[in-house]
Amino acid sequence: MSREQRTVLIVEDDRNTANLVATYLQREGFVTLQEHDGEAGLQAARIEQPNLVVLDLMLPKIDGLEICRRLRAESQVPILMLTAREEEIDRVLGFSLGADDYVVKPFSPRELVERVKAILRRAQPLPESNSVILQHGSLQLDPGKHKVTRDQQPINLTSSEYKLLYTLMASPGRVFSRGELLRDFYQHEEAVVERVIDVHINKLRQKLEPDPAHPVFIETVRGFGYRFAEVEK
């Protein structure tokens, strides 16, 4: 990943925290921008079009969850939520609105930087050696172009949704437990809960399935987890 062109927008009302995050990201070669309220942060995300947004949950004017909701309605920019709130419902809600990862304060700046790198890696097209096109019926995933289509129409996925779909689609018929997907999905699985996988699966079905209530691509294996449907022979 070429970091020289990577810009991270930090939306955090505590200037000391924002400066600390910026310092550690800059040491790794990232360009950083800062805003300190939700309104300015949302405007900066739209104008500057950063490669990733570090977004505090509790912000003046517009809170982080609302910013996440608005950004995800118009952009697939990766979002790392940053908050002092530890309740499971907040984490699940953040992911359901499209956040890619979640860091709870107090946090290690080095860990935050590693999570930023991991999110951006998930957003990159795979190397040519891993770029075999995956297809099931009308659904196609092109790893080389980091592109998903159904009936030749593009489907916009977040980097996390794309990673999950690729994992399932690359092994059709294999059953993945929620815990297994979580470990593959996040290197720092202690920050998330298994329900997050259900949230991502539901969002994927809404985008992929002709009838999300009766999925034909991503199947539920009750009591265990999920699998991608067997490739038609």
Cα–Cα nearest to 163, from 123, 115, 114: 123
Percent of the chain with pLDDT over 70: 85
pLDDT at 147 over 60: yes
Domain endpoint, select from 69, 89, 122: 122
Written as one string, the DSSP assignment of 107-155 is --HHHHHHHHHHHHHHTSPPPGGG-PPEEETTEEEETTTTEEEETTEE-
Give the model's confidence band at 185: pLDDT under 50 very low, under 70 low, under 90 confident, else very high.
Answer: low
pLDDT of residue 90: 67
- The structural domain count of the chain equals 2
Residue 137, in any domain of the structure: yes
Q: pTM of this prediction?
A: 0.67
Return d(Cα 71, Cα 62) in angstroms, integer. 12
Residue 233, in any domain of the structure: no
pLDDT at 108 over 50: yes
> How much is the average pLDDT of 191-198?
68
Least confident range from 10-24, 42-56, 161-175: namely 161-175
* Whether residue 135 is found in the same domain as residue 108: no
- Report the Cα 107 to chain-centroid distance in Å: 19
pLDDT of residue 3: 43
* Whether residue 52 is found in the same domain as residue 92: yes
